[in-house]
Structure 1
Amino acid sequence: MIDQLKIIGQYLLAKHLLSRLVGKLAAARAGKLTTFLIKKFIKKFNVDMSEAKHSAATDFKTFNDFFTRELKPGIRPIIEGENSLALPVDGCISQIGAIKEGRIFQAKGHDFSLRELLGGRDDIAAPFDEGLFSTIYLAPKDYHRIHMPITGKLEQLIFIPGDLFSVNPLTAQNVPNLFARNERAVAIFSTAVGPMAMVLVGATIVASIETVWAGTIAPAKNKEIQYWDYRGQDITLEKGAEMGRFKLGSTVVALFPKGSISFSESLQAETVTRLGELFATTNTSAEK
């Protein structure tokens, strides 16, 4: 009953307004209030500040500075080897597996359209048809910067406006089409295994989605789908490099072409992930 009420509340809540108001507070230099909120957040969500480069609540001028905090150097070593892909975030696997008939598995009884997830264009979705996906949920306590699983050259960026439902496990199990209906930014890279899509999905009170090359993507005043073509530029990010960040957490969906990689056998739904550990091996490696 309580879970049902939570889901009903998700539909009734003025999610965009709430998210933007929280965003303004999170970006404010509010002195003692900021420090108070950070301390309360650390306690409530049991955030491990021993891994952070700056560990005291007073080290951060805004809540956003705290939420997107850096880790200590070397705390998340990136797996070596040209045939190994690194996990892109700290989080938890929501689902992982094959894209079947253009559909991606969300939770029992729910799946969603690959084409819709990527903004509705066949030419962008086609390379990933019958390919592989991994959906990773970032909880409030997690490190909220997103890194590259493999070296990639940026090809396109797409911003897709939408809802701002929560993306926690309860919502994923109960809200149809969740990741293809929420606001999101899609980055397409060319890599040694073919195209790779990194989909950064917004959520309730996610105040901002950023990339390292374009800055803030969401929130956006323009409520139409927006495309940026980077194929004439040389923006290459190495494996393990930061590619974006969430200001208040969310979900990352990574997409790969059919036959390009094999996910690590240790990864399955509910597996806790740590940035830099083995995500997948290239098909070449798998065949040796």
Structure 2
Amino acid sequence: MDPITRLSYVLPHRWLSALARRLAYSENPRVRRWLIDTVVRRFGVDLTEAAEPDAGAYASFNAFFTRALRADVRVADPDPRALLVPADGRVSQCGTIGHPDERGRIFQAKGRSFTAAELLGDAADAEAFDGGAFATIYLSPRDYHRVHMPWTGRLRETVHVPGRLFSVGPSAVSAVPRLFARNERLVCHFDTDFGPMAVVMVGAMLVSGVETVWSGVEIPKYARRVTRRDWRARGIVLERFAEMARFNYGSTVIVLLPPGVAELSPALGPESPVRVGQALARLRAPAARPAS
């Protein structure tokens, strides 16, 4: 375990994230410009893809980090059976939930895993995904930080699960047991024409802000207990490729699919670079009924 990851066990995660949030939302010109210029230079951010390519035009660092892209730079895979990659970044891991001999477990890295029940905060919710597929996408500081729908779905429920805020960088993923099931996260459950789909927004050190298009800021406030919200009466349907949420910095998105409905794209594997809209998986049979 590297020294920074080891130190993260004792650091005041939420206090540091709250401090970072204050800086990110600051409209002080010196603070804003220094933060933006530092990230653009250090991580090689490509602002030519942004709807607003002028780094000086953003009111705050957070406005820059959650920037919109030009409409022509991300397109959905034209195959109508393709489920889409929800975020720019890299594949951390993808595969079968419970494969090969660990029922309900999701592979993390180097022999580490966690259960779908731990990730979702509920064993009953996890049963629908046992034997299905998962994909874990890591967003680095250089990436586009809006998350889009892999498939058309009707929002059923969100579950805010309390936790720590470990880094989700590659070194931490390799070293911290059950990392994604320990960090603060927002689980979004959708009903689709092939069954349930879960999209999990995982927070991280200095990366604790999650917003959704249906309710605005969800994290922070940080949860003290598992908090469930039923959205079925609102009739919220989000189309395939539509924006669903955003991170106020970088982090990780995990998509869970039920068994037997789709095959992950063979082009994907650990460390594969991905972009919003490319094929994540393909349905094994045509969709049977509308999600709404």
Matching residue within 30, 33, 39 for 1:32: 30
Residue 127 in structure 1 maps to residue 125 in structure 2 = no
Residue 115 in structure 1 maps to residue 117 in structure 2 = yes
Q: How far is 1:64 from its partner?
A: 0.5
Secondary structure at the aligned position of 1:7 is classed as helix
Distance 1:169 1:162 in 2: 19
Q: How far is 1:221 from its partner?
A: 4.8
Distance 1:56 1:33 in 2: 17
Residue 160 in structure 1 maps to residue 158 in structure 2 = no
CA contact (8 A) 2:162 2:222 kept: no
1:74-89 equivalence runs, <5 A:
74-89=72-87
Q: How far is 1:123 from its partner?
A: 2.2
- Aligned partner of 1:277 in structure 2 is 278
Structure 2 unaligned blocks of 5 or more: 287-292
Residue 209 in structure 1 maps to residue 210 in structure 2 = yes
Question: Structure 1 stretch 122-131 or stretch 90-99: which is displaced more?
Answer: 122-131
CA deviation string 1:201-226 (max 9, x = no partner): 00000141111101111111541111
Distance 1:254 1:207 in 2: 19
Query: Which amino acid in the other structure matches residue 8 of structure 2?
Result: Q
Given the two structures, how large is their TM-score scaled by the length of structure 1?
0.95
- Aligned partner of 2:108 in structure 1 is 106
Structure 1 unaligned blocks of 5 or more: none
Residue 195 in structure 1 maps to residue 193 in structure 2 = no
Q: How far is 1:162 from its partner?
A: 0.3
Distance 1:251 1:281 in 2: 22
CA contact (8 A) 1:193 1:261 kept: no
Identity %: 43
Secondary structure at the aligned position of 1:21 is classed as helix
CA deviation string 1:80-137 (max 9, x = no partner): 2331111111000000000110110000120001101001x22211111111100010
Matching residue within 38, 42, 45 for 1:44: 42
Distance 1:122 1:95 in 2: 22
- Aligned partner of 1:11 in structure 2 is 9
Distance 1:241 1:222 in 2: 27
Residue 68 in structure 1 maps to residue 70 in structure 2 = no
Runs of 4+ in 1 over 3 A off after TM superposition: none
Question: Structure 1 stretch 171-180 or stretch 71-80: which is displaced more?
Answer: 71-80
Query: Which amino acid in the other structure matches residue 223 of structure 1?
Result: R
1:255-266 equivalence runs, <5 A:
255-266=256-267
Distance 1:71 1:203 in 2: 24
Given the two structures, how large is their TM-score scaled by the length of structure 2?
0.94
CA contact (8 A) 2:161 2:223 kept: no
CA contact (8 A) 2:8 2:166 kept: yes
Aligned length: 283
CA deviation string 1:129-154 (max 9, x = no partner): 11110001001100000000111110
